[in-house]
A and B are shown apart, each in its own frame.
Chain A
Amino acid sequence: MDQYFPQAGLAVARILKRLGHHVEYPAEQTCCGQPAFNAGLRAEAAALAKRFVRIFDRFDAVVAPSGSCVAMVRNFYPELLGDGRGPARVPLAGRTFEFSEFLVDRLNVTDLGAAFNERVTYHDSCHLLRELRVQEQPRRLLRAVKGLELVELNDGPACCGFGGVFSVKFPEVSTVMAEDKVAAIERTGARYVVAGDGGCLMHIGGMLTRRGSKVRPLHLAELLGGVA
């Protein structure tokens, strides 16, 4: 987010503020540790997880525009920070939310008053869909956008092939997955593919531009925040 999609982060802050919440960005934050965790290096991941908890524990809620980071904190921190006999109690895990689920489930907001006169398709990021079971929330937010036509992808819902280091360690398979994903996106006739995870957007976006496609990747928060 920091490096590639700063606008999505700004959009989240803007939306939450508009809804009357006090938003802070602790500048000392870096990474939740997920890449090392997925690489099998749990000690490195645990060091960053502890750091994350230390930095964020004082907040009522932590909201991230990224399904996989939230899944890391909510689903894997207890196991990662456990003592080997069982999972640790990590209260912060219960207060960490993905952006769209926070709006819809916690704040009961679906209509943000945004307008977007385009045909859009939504990509279910695996971590949102299967780790966090966030499927309807982003769709409800999108359907409330004036002028927006939501066309569903008809592919599974399949993974885009990103998978963090998987995309560089197994580039052949990952590439074919991205190609199939992009083909499915193009079949919808949408101008934008929206997702809630930076990794997928990078991967899908990288394949879209490589194939000279006119479809643009767009983070859900950016669309709702009206930056696009």
Chain B
Amino acid sequence: MMPLPALDSQRRATLGRALNLALDKRRQSVAQFPDWEAMRQRAHDIRAGAVERLDEYLDQFERAATANGIRVVRVATAEEACRYVAAIAKRLGVTTAVKAKSMVTEEIHLNHALEAEGIRAMETDLGEYIAQLCGQPPFHLTAPIVHLSRDEVGRILADKLGVPFTNDPTRLTLIARDVMRREFLTARLGISGANFCVAESGSLMLVTNEGNGRMCTTLPAKDGPRVHVAITGIEKVVPTLKDAAHLLRLLARSGSGMRLTAYTTLINGPRKRAGGDESTGPDEVHVLLLDNGRRSMLRDPHLREALYCIRCGACSNVCPVYHRAGGHAYQSVYNGPIGSVWSPALWNTERAATLPFASSLCGACADICPVKIDIHHALLWQRKLAADRGRVPLWQRLAWRAWRIGMSWPALYRFGSAAARKLVGPAVLNRLAKPWTATRDLPPLAAKTFRELWKEHPAE
């Protein structure tokens, strides 16, 4: 089991303030809907319907999107996806791409792959941009630098861009905007994710807060062909625009308490040439539908539900472990409760296998999830899979077997309990329980067990 360290108390306080603010705003936002529970149920049903008939809807999406002039490509692995994007960049002859925030591109480590080919991918979401400047992965599903204070952000920008220090959010935004503007006006390759792929219309729905998603996907550059590539998971498909609209109502409210993210972009295809009525928009739109382990979740009835996730981040906001350990401690692109369900399905590593155990199973995540995923029960299932795959060390498995045998024979159990009192004693017990007793006391064993007391006075 790999450890999950806690953040220092100052960082915890900064993070806690930001997360609790989001939770408060969510609470107020949700309180305006007396039928919030019914809305969650409907969102759950929409996602369940989509995932249950995933292949049907994927086919429908592909047909409709193709008819709109979008090139739809199914990719099985991260490498395949990265190679595809790099090939487009080469064809266009560009060395820079502008990117809207996308967890899937983090999942496949697209930026590194492009860098290896000499292509610089520039993050244009403000938080993501700052994370990129300091070479850090996003800290949170929706808020990449939620752990940083305003002062820290100011220092990072001053440091990396050589601008005068300020901690004023408006000024900070303007500084970043200046840098990005220049890139936006010349970029010919735009990369994004997609929040939903709408099957009936073949359109992509993308939400952002700064409008950068729109810039990355419309690409106002004047010289030469322009291409938008959207990379998303196969699970992101929803049957209808109405379904997407419903999910949209829950998405921002759950994550940040906002009614809607500031910009909702609906992409129906490349710029239309015939008639020449559209002057902006890319010449090509490509959609990569990525599997990368998702089908293994689809096949497992206990994990399928995790595919309903709309990446709102609420489960992280409410998670007591996330609050204390923070996003980077997970060492996984997908962190927080749902990340601990996803990670072992996507990556067969020791680290990923540890994550489902790093939970007290309190269930706060499942209660807040707008699509009602039983997140903590899925964690329990991932623990079982980890044990099945031999991720629980032999000595531990033997210890559990011994424990089970002890618990199956009351005489053995009684012997163990007597031995703990008479032969072993509190000093040794405390030493054995070191990880506990280093920071907490272990209450003394009762002088007499219940069964002894009961035997003495059964009819008390």
Contact = CB atoms under 8 A, between A and B. Distances in A.
Contacts of A7: 446
B153 to A, nearest CB: 25
Nearest to A207: B440
Contact of B361 (A29, A42, A126): A126
B96 to A, nearest CB: 40
A10 B450 contact: yes
Interface in B334-382: 357-364, 366-367, 380
A174 B446 contact: no
B320 A161 contact: yes
B362 A36 contact: no
Contacts of B163: none
B366 A38 contact: no
Given A36-B403, A206-B443, A25 B460 contact: no
Interface residues of A, number: 64
B320 A202 contact: no
Contacts of A29: 410
Nearest to B413: A30
A208 to B, nearest CB: 8
Interface string A65-106: 000000000001000000000000000000000000000000
A203 B362 CA distance: 14
Interface in A143-179: 156, 158-159, 161-163, 165-178
B171 interface: no
B320 A170 contact: no
Interface stretch (A43-51, A112-120, A184-192): A43-51
Nearest to B448: A6
B445 A3 contact: yes
Given A25-B454, A35-B403, A172-B6, A162 B435 contact: no
Contact of A159 (B5, B320, B439): B320
A2 interface: yes
Contacts of A36: 400, 403-404
Given A6-B448, A47-B404, A176-B12, A159 B438 contact: no
Interface in B405-460: 406-408, 410, 413, 417, 420, 433, 435-436, 438-443, 445-446, 448-455, 458, 460
Nearest to B380: A38
Binding site secondary structure of chain A:
helix
A131 B363 contact: yes
A207 B384 CA distance: 31
B143 interface: no
B360 A174 contact: yes
Binding site secondary structure of chain B:
helix
Interface string B385-404: 11110001000110011011
Nearest to B1: A169
Interface residues of B, number: 62
Contact of B5 (A3, A14, A172): A172
A28 interface: yes
A159 to B, nearest CB: 4
B156 interface: no
B191 interface: no
Contacts of A178: 439-440
A28 to B, nearest CB: 5
Interface string A189-223: 00000000000001101110110000000000000
Contacts of B454: 9-10, 13, 25, 27
Contact of B357 (A6, A169, A203, A209): A169
Contact of A10 (B396, B413, B460): B460
Contacts of A9: 450, 454
Contacts of B442: 202, 206
Interface in A1-53: 1-7, 9-10, 13-14, 17, 25, 27-31, 33, 35-42, 44, 47-48, 51
Interface in B162-179: none
Given A130-B363, A163-B362, A166-B357, A171 B403 contact: no
B148 to A, nearest CB: 20
A165 B286 CA distance: 47
B438 A171 contact: yes
A173 B440 contact: no
B436 A130 contact: no
Contacts of B449: 2-3, 6
A161 B440 CA distance: 12
Contacts of A47: 404, 408
Given A178-B440, A205-B443, A27 B451 contact: yes
A126 B380 CA distance: 15
A40 B384 contact: yes
Nearest to B9: A176
Given A4-B446, A39-B392, A158-B364, 5 more contacts: A3-B445, A7-B446, A176-B12, A206-B436, A206-B443
30 contacts: A2-B449, A7-B446, A17-B460, A25-B450, A29-B410, A36-B403, A39-B400, A42-B384, A48-B404, A51-B408, A126-B360, A126-B364, A130-B363, A131-B363, A166-B361, A167-B360, A167-B435, A168-B435, A168-B436, A171-B435, A171-B436, A175-B6, A177-B320, A178-B440, A202-B442, A203-B440, A205-B443, A207-B439, A209-B443, A210-B440
Interface of A: 1-7, 9-10, 13-14, 17, 25, 27-31, 33, 35-42, 44, 47-48, 51, 76, 126-127, 129-131, 156, 158-159, 161-163, 165-178, 202-203, 205-207, 209-210
